[in-house]
């Protein structure tokens, strides 16, 4: 199992079009349009969001790629760490808010 998540594999991302070129081309165009330029959000803000998502989804490729992208858009370590904390508290909050469901059901189950 040691060959999962080799950093060299990130370079092969483009190969996802090998068996479905049009869909891959569509995806990469969409990807480039969203992340490649300043829009309503700056490239730096988008990179920080992507870094947070990369952590929430635990994607090592994305963590490497968006750590670099944050640096290349002028972000600093405090901003990057704060973005990861946003991901962390969202995951914690999402877990905890489900306890309302648990309490609702608990009330039905307890006399």
Partner 1 sequence: MKSALQLKPVRPRSKYDFDALLRERGIAIAPANVDTLQVNITKTCNQVCRHCHVDASPSRTEKMSPEDIAKCLEILERHPQIAKLDITGGAPELHPGFDGFVERAVALGKHVMVRHNLTVQLDGHPQTKESKEYLPQFFARHRVEVISSLPYYQQFFTDSQRGAGVFAKSVEAMRRLNAMGYGVEGSGLALNLVYNPVGPYLPAAQAGLEADYKRELKAKHGLVFNSLYTITNMPINRFRLHLEKSGQYEAYLDKLLAAFNPAAAEGVMCRSLVSVGHDGRVYDCDFNQMLEMDAVDAKGRRLSIHDFDFDRVLSRPIQFDAHCLGCTAGAGSSCGGATA
| CA 87 to the chain's CA centroid | 9
Closest by Cα among 29, 66, 34 to 50? 66
Q: How far is the CB of 29 from partner 1 (least distance, A)?
A: 18
Residue 11 or 58 having the CB closest to partner 1: 11
The answer to whether 57 touches 91, Cβ cutoff 8 Å, is no
Q: How far is the CB of 20 from partner 1 (least distance, A)?
A: 24
d(CA 111, CA 107): 8
Look up residue 52 and give its two tokens. 């947070």
Q: How far is the CB of 82 from partner 1 (least distance, A)?
A: 14
Residue 10 or 94 having the CB closest to partner 1: 10
Residue 42 or 99 having the CB closest to partner 1: 42
Question: Using CB under 8 A as the criterion, which residues of the chain lie in contact with partner 1 when the complex forms?
Answer: 42-44, 68, 71-74, 76-78
């Amino acid at each position: 199992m040691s060959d999962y998540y080799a950093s060299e594999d990130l370079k092969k991302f483009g190969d996802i079009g090998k068996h479905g070129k049009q869909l891959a081309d569509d995806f990469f165009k969409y990807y480039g349009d969203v992340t490649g330029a300043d829009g309503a959000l700056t490239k730096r803000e988008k990179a920080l969001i992507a870094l947070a998502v990369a952590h929430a989804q635990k994607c090592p490729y994305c963590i490497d790629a968006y750590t670099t992208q944050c640096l290349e858009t002028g972000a600093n370590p405090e901003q990057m760490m704060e973005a990861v904390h946003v991901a962390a508290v969202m995951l914690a909050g999402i877990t905890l808010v489900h306890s309302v469901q648990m309490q609702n059901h608990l009330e039905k189950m307890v006399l």
